[in-house]
Amino acid sequence: MRCFILAALLIATPAFAANEAGKYQSVLGDCEGCHGRNLAGGVALATPFGKLVTPNITPDVATGIGTWSQEDFRKAMKQGMGKGGKPLYPAMPYVNYALMPDADVAALWTYIRTVKPVRNSVDVNQLKFPFNLRFLMRGWNLLFFKPAPFANDASKNAAWNRGEYLVEGPAHCGACHSPRNFFGADKGGLSGASLQGWWAPDLTGDGRAGLGAWSNDELVQYLQTGRNAHSLASGPMAEAVENSTSRMTDSDLNAIAVYLKDLPPGPGNGGGATGAEAQMQAGARIYQVSCAACHGGDGKGSAIFPPLAGNPIVTQSSPETLARVVLAGAKGAATVKSPTGPAMPSFAWRWNDEQVAAVLTYIRNNWRNVAPAVSADTVTKIRTSLHSAS
């Protein structure tokens, strides 16, 4: 009966400490986010080039990386080369991991060797022709991958530099939040991007769409708990919070906040809705009937429901996440410090595309929010893509 209690009384040994250090590297890199809670892979990633399924990285000999050496692992992490010189697809963020010091990669390797081997055979490459040809990645690397060790900016303080290292390196924030070029390469800038049917929001200092209105503490609170006075993480960010940022140390979270808060404003969201009076009126009626009960007549939300007034996810240049949340519903992040994880139900059944467009235009331009109107065509496209994805 007491076995569970005993399990908690682990004795701190040097091996234990090294393993914990490696485990923390896996938190920083959010390995679980793509490879699953047990790291056995099998998680499908929808890319613009087709479907990639994440590989099994447990030490299973037959289906995982049980036959790999430490050097094989280092090359995968930092050079994008799998065992035997097989080029990895850059969905594996080796472009970011290349900034990691070898010692941290070694610690991570130590930890990965200790996780439970899981037999799970994964068909990784389900991309469309010609993207299924791995050797093409050699050319991609030549064009877009310029590995270099992380260099401190002497004009900035230690927290800022640690923050830049985390954001651009292991935490690979840009993998979701930075716009991509035609070849899927990160253009940098963290000004928001579309992926997997979600819009990863602008993290720049922009006052409407970005984090300009957030304090450092509020940003730390968001990353630690999944929510703050402005917003509530859902979708892929809820997973990133649950698996990664909520488990980071306070000083690392503070460093991320210091760095992100120093980013200059990005291109912005394109300004307010003009000539949308009819949508605004229709949206106001829908809002009162179907949204105000939880989000409040004043758009301020409550201890459980996120606000819409001043919530940057509402005023992104793209309404993709917003429309998705309304049509398909979404579950908020649930963390130790904020365990509720409230969920938004699907309203796909209740509202047609014109109505969704109207209410989104309304919440994007009511209270003091300012963002472009949403057209019914845009909602139709998102609804269609949600249908084909499910």
Binding site for other proteins (CB under 8 A): 1-5, 290, 293-294, 302-305, 329, 331, 334, 336-347, 349-350
For residue 339, the minimal CB distance to other proteins (Å) is 5
Neighbours of 146 (CB within 10 A): 9
């900016």: which residue's tokens?
153
Of 15, 243, 36, the closest CA to residue 111 belongs to 15
What's the burial of 145, exposed, middle or buried (CB within 10 Å: 0-12/13-18/19+)? Answer: middle
CA–CA gap between residue 359 and residue 365 (Å, rounded): 10
Cβ closer to other proteins: 1 or 148? 1
How far is Cα of residue 248 from the mean position of the Cα atoms in its chain? 15
Minimum distance from CB of 125 to other proteins (Å)?
A: 33
Report residue 144: phi and psi, to 5°.
-120, -10
Closer of 333 and 371 to other proteins (Cβ): 333
Q: How far is the CB of 42 from other proteins (least distance, A)?
A: 22
- Cβ 382 to other proteins, closest distance in Å? 17
Of 91 and 294, nearer to other proteins (C-beta) is 294
Pair 201, 192: CB distance under 8 Å = yes
* Least distance from other proteins to the Cβ atom of residue 2, Å: 7
Q: In 3-state terms, what secondary structure has residue 24?
A: helix
Contact 87, 137 (CB under 8 A): yes
Say whether 132 sits in a helix, a strand or coil: coil
Q: Give the span between the Cα atoms of 248 and 257, in whole angstroms.
A: 13
Q: How far is the CB of 155 from other proteins (least distance, A)?
A: 41
From residue 261, alpha-carbon distances to 33, 163, 219, 239, 385 in Å are 25, 10, 9, 22, 34
Nearer to other proteins, 158 or 293 (CB): 293
Cβ neighbours for 247, distance < 8 A, ≥ 6 positions apart: 27
Q: How many helices (H) and strands (E) does the chain have?
A: 17, 9
Name the DSSP letter for residue 53. E
> In the bound complex, what is the minimum distance in angstroms from residue 93's beta carbon to other proteins?
27
Q: Least separation, in Å, of the C-beta of 4 and other proteins?
A: 5
Q: By C-beta, is 211 or 344 nearer to other proteins?
A: 344
Residues whose CB is less than 8 angstroms from the CB of residue 102 and which lie 6 or more positions away in sequence, other chains included: 74, 78
| Shortest Å, Cβ 39 to other proteins | 17
Nearer to other proteins, 100 or 327 (CB): 327
Q: Residue 349's closest CA among 331, 329, 363, 330?
A: 329
Considering all CA atoms of the chain, what is the largest pairwise distance in Å, rounded to the nearest integer? 68
Beta carbon nearer to other proteins, 278 or 289: 289
CA 178 – CA 101 distance, rounded (Å): 23
Q: How far is the CB of 226 from other proteins (least distance, A)?
A: 12
Cα of 261 vs its chain's centroid, Å: 18
Q: Identify which of residues 268 and 306 has a Cβ nearer to other proteins in the complex.
A: 306
Q: Which is nearer to other proteins, 79 or 290 (CB)?
A: 290
**Nearest to other proteins of 86, 350 (CB atom):** 350
Neighbours of 256 (CB within 10 A): 26
